[in-house]
């Protein structure tokens, strides 16, 4: 969901949305459960977000009309787990795709919803509820982003990974996400990680033998699923149409992991076989800071 970055340039002041009241979406039990599992263990949380007026089909169709074209992606929902290249369009407009999602056999995503002031406030208010639990482990919460997925019955989101910490809130319908261990080169080779962080794609090559190693995590409306940074996954929608809100953020740790991958790419081009970055709570500061110095000097892209 993210691309090349400049470290720390995308922090938001989450205090701007806090009014001192008690959290209203993630209750105390959910926040305790989140704190115990963040940032490496997939887990399911309860939330109180399913009936928000800004997340109806009509409201989302209107949002789609306001967002720039590059922030909208939609295509056929009848996809395999693994794809090669960009899927074909359905022929419908994005607004018609969303309003008729129950019958359009489509999958749509509205990216970077924080471009809208209304949705930025919504995103930041959600993240503000769990900010203390996040920053206690992975450092400053950086680059908050939001993504809304609208899916027809049985639609598939193909196998891929993302560089953000991610909580996927199911608002309508249900889905099953199959996750694979983050950092395991069997499911996402190191060279693919390194290529992604230099501007490559995040789609991965699916192999049928992977299936036995995946963990299926089913969520319904009122539940949310945490996805660790760079955990390969694919998603299959349930028997009814679905709306999901993905709230994501980067952290000091995630940027260090990404920049360590960038430095490994430099080493690999020099003929070396570098060790993969450590997963949390391991530190990748040495490689990351070296890569940032090289980038500042203009020696790497």
Q: Which 3-state string (H, E, C) describes 233-245?
A: EEEEECCCCEEEE
Q: What is the pLDDT of residues 170-223, one digit of tens each?
A: 999 999 999 999 999 999 999 999 999 888 878 899 999 999 999 999 999 999
Domain-located, residue 241: yes
Domain-located, residue 3: no
Domain-located, residue 7: no
The domain containing residue 293 runs over which residues? 255-297
Q: Are residues 88 and 186 in the same domain?
A: yes
pLDDT per residue of the chain (301 residues) written in tens, 0 to 9: 543 344 334 444 444 444 444 558 999 999 999 999 999 999 999 999 988 999 999 999 999 999 999 999 987 766 568 655 554 555 678 888 898 888 888 888 999 999 999 999 999 999 999 999 999 999 999 999 999 999 999 999 899 999 999 999 999 999 999 999 999 999 999 999 999 988 887 889 999 999 999 999 999 999 999 999 999 999 999 999 999 999 999 999 999 999 999 999 999 999 999 999 999 999 999 999 999 999 999 998 7
Domain-located, residue 191: yes
Domain-located, residue 1: no
Q: Are residues 261 and 241 in the same domain?
A: no
Q: Are residues 272 and 176 in the same domain?
A: no
Domain-located, residue 85: yes
| Number of domains composing the chain | 2
Domain-located, residue 9: no
Q: Are residues 172 and 290 in the same domain?
A: no
Q: Are residues 229 and 267 in the same domain?
A: no
Q: Are residues 125 and 141 in the same domain?
A: yes
Report the distance separating Cα 286 and Cα 160, nearest Å: 28
Q: Are residues 144 and 244 in the same domain?
A: yes
Report the distance separating Cα 55 and Cα 47, nearest Å: 14
Q: Are residues 212 and 281 in the same domain?
A: no
Q: Are residues 104 and 244 in the same domain?
A: yes
Residue 124: both structure tokens together = 């930041």
Q: Are residues 101 and 116 in the same domain?
A: yes
CATH number of 172's domain: 2.60.120.650
């Amino acid at each position: 969901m993210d691309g090349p970055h400049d470290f720390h340039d995308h922090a938001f002041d989450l205090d701007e949305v806090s009014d001192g009241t008690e959290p209203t979406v993630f209750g105390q039990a959910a926040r305790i459960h989140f704190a115990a599992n963040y940032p490496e263990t997939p887990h399911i949380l309860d939330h109180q977000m399913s009936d928000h007026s800004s997340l109806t089909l009509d409201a989302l169709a209107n949002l789609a009309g306001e967002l720039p074209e590059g922030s909208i992606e939609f295509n056929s929902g009848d996809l395999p787990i693994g794809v090669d290249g960009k899927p074909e369009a359905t022929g419908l407009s994005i607004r018609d795709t969303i309003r008729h999602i129950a019958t359009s056999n489509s999958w749509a995503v509205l990216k970077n919803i924080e471009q809208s002031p209304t949705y930025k406030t919504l995103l930041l208010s959600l993240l503000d509820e769990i900010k203390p639990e996040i920053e206690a482990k992975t450092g400053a919460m950086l680059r908050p982003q939001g993504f809304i997925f609208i899916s027809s019955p049985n639609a598939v989101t193909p196998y891929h990974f993302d560089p953000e910490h991610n909580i996927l809130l199911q608002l309508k319908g249900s889905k099953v996400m199959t996750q694979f261990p983050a950092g395991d080169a069997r499911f996402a080779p190191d060279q693919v990680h390194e290529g992604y962080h230099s501007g490559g794609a995040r789609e991965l090559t699916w192999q049928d033998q992977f299936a036995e190693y995946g963990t299926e995590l089913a969520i319904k409306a009122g539940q949310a699923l945490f996805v660790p940074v760079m955990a390969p996954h694919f998603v299959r929608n349930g028997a009814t149409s679905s709306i999901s809100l993905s709230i994501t953020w980067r952290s000091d740790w995630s940027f260090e992991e990404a920049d360590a991958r960038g430095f490994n790419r430099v080493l690999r081009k020099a003929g070396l076989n570098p060790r993969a970055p450590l997963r949390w709570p391991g530190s990748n500061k040495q490689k990351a800071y070296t890569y940032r110095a090289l980038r500042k000097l203009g020696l790497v892209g």
